[in-house]
Structure formats: structure tokens, C-alpha cells
Structure 1
Amino acid sequence: MEELEKAGHRIVGGGQTGRQEDGQATWDITDWRTGEAIAEGVGDYDAYGEASQRLDPDGKWIHIDHIEHMDTPQMDPAGVPASLAEALQEWLDRLSTTDEDVAAVVGWSVEEVARHREEG
């Protein structure tokens, strides 16, 4: 972390934080080290991405989720292209993806999906 910060990167956190009655997702972007709220809004994944690009036009921010995965060996399931694996991970991370949808894809019960999502 310190090396990245010394190189001029800002470590951020955040993402989707909830869902409103109209079905729109709420999101935020926070400074990982201080917890400072940098931005928050309502909208889909694209709205979050647009805010990130607008606030970080030089691309110096690194989301904490990406750092946590830097030292983790990447799964290489046989026959699954990396681009599909990334798309599936994004789909799983969205609050709009219901436990029921995940259960239908992976063959688990809704309860198993909910338990694993809560455990992170």
C-alpha cells in the first residue's frame, strides 16, 4: 500500500452500497486510508465508473479490491476465458444481482448463496 501511495496512487474503496425503493443502486467512493467520502450517488455501474473517471482523470486511483487480489493466485478454470471470468465477477459484485439469480447459475440453494455472499 505504502509503495503505491508513494508512487502517487490513491487507494479507494466503495462501490454499491444499497438499493432504493425505485430499484436504483446507491454507491460511494471513499478514501481507503482516511475513510473520507469522495463521492456518492445513485445509478448503475456505469454511473459509478463515470464518477470515478471524472474525479480521477489521470487514472491514479486503485480500488482496494484490486490490491487484495494482486497477491492472490488467479483462478484458471479450464475452458473459461479470463474476460468471461472478469465479467462473472463483476456480475456477482453488483447489488442488482439477486441471490436467486446466482443460485440458478451455480446450482446452489438461495440460502447457500446468501451465506457465502455475507462471508465475503
Structure 2
Amino acid sequence: MTDIRDCVQAMLRQNLADEQARQERISSYEKNGRRVVNGGQTGESSWEITDWRTGDVLATGTGGYDAYDDAARRLDPGGRWIHVDHFDVDFEDEEDEPEYAPGVPASLAEALREWLDLNSTPNEDVAVVAGWSAEEVDRHRR
């Protein structure tokens, strides 16, 4: 049976590989003249649109999603912008979820995945389990 350390290390390696692939996809879109944006609701009816790469604020406003959508269409009439969320890896189907460590029960692997994904889980805690430095864990969790 694989131990928990192997499972956590495999998950961290997968995080880094997924992020590297995501960055490559983003760069490819940008090389083709597209702009990657971020933003959305910032309050009950307020919103903002930012350039994902630079953080520059492109637009802010109120009026909820309809006003946000109108601003995005006005600022990007050619449809060259894409929201950064479209680049996220999402395993909606359990069958697509990689097996991180043979012998680790799926329910435990799921709990470990959730623990790793929590922003409140300190890198130092993960480092204890993974047997890595906190810096190495941070590089794999970004």
C-alpha cells in the first residue's frame, strides 16, 4: 500500500503540472492577440474587469451582471477577451480524477485533495506530511 506521503507528493506534482499547462494555454491565447481578463462581482451590484497579466483595472461599475456584460462587450467588440476562469482544470466527472497513489482509499485521497486546496492550510503543515520544504510545497501549490 502506498503511504500518505506518496499520495500528497503526487497531488502536489499534479498541481504544478496543471498550472504549467494552464500557463502555456494562457500564453498561447495571448500570442494570438487575445487578452486574458479577470474580474466579476465585487459587491452586491458592483463589478470590475481587470487585465489578468498586469492587474490593470479596465472597467468598474454597478448594475450587476448585465452592466458587467455590457461593459465587456463595449470594451471588447471583437470578442478577443477571455476570462481566466476558462483556463482552470476542473474534474467534474469522478472518472477523470487521476489516481494519485495506488492503495490509498478514494475517500482519503478526496479528503487530502480538499485539505491541500484550502487556502487556510499552511504550506508548513503540508511540508510535514510531504517531507518537502515549505518553499517547495509553495511552488507546487500556487
TMscore range, shorter length: 0.5 to 0.7
Question: How much has 1:51 moved relative to structure 2?
Answer: 0.2
* Separation in structure 2 between the aligned mates of residue 14 and residue 33 of structure 1, nearest angstrom: 12
TM-score, length of structure 2 as denominator length: 0.46
Q: Which runs of 4+ in 1 moved over 6 A?
A: none
The aligned runs of 1:35-50 (5 Å cut-off) are: 35-50=55-70
What's the secondary structure of 1:66's corresponding residue? helix
| 1:57 equivalenced with 2:77 (yes/no) | yes
1:13 equivalent in structure 2 = 38
Question: How much has 1:72 moved relative to structure 2?
Answer: 2.8
The higher radius of gyration belongs to 2
Instruction: Calculate percent identity across the aligned residue pairs.
Output: 51
2:29 equivalent in structure 1 = 4
Cα RMSD over matched residues? Answer: 1.9
* Separation in structure 2 between the aligned mates of residue 40 and residue 57 of structure 1, nearest angstrom: 17
RCO greater where, 1 or 2, for CA within 8 Å and sep 6 or more?
Answer: 2
**Greater strand share, 1 or 2?**
1
How many equivalent pairs are there? 71
The equivalent position to 2:90 in structure 1, one of 29, 54, 72, is: 72
* Separation in structure 2 between the aligned mates of residue 40 and residue 64 of structure 1, nearest angstrom: 17
Which letter does structure 2 place at the counterpart of 1:32?
W
2:3 equivalent in structure 1 = none
| 1:28 equivalenced with 2:48 (yes/no) | yes
* Separation in structure 2 between the aligned mates of residue 66 and residue 75 of structure 1, nearest angstrom: 17
Question: How much has 1:74 moved relative to structure 2?
Answer: 4.6
Which letter does structure 2 place at the counterpart of 1:38?
L
Which letter does structure 2 place at the counterpart of 1:64?
V
* Separation in structure 1 between the aligned mates of residue 67 and residue 86 of structure 2, nearest angstrom: 19
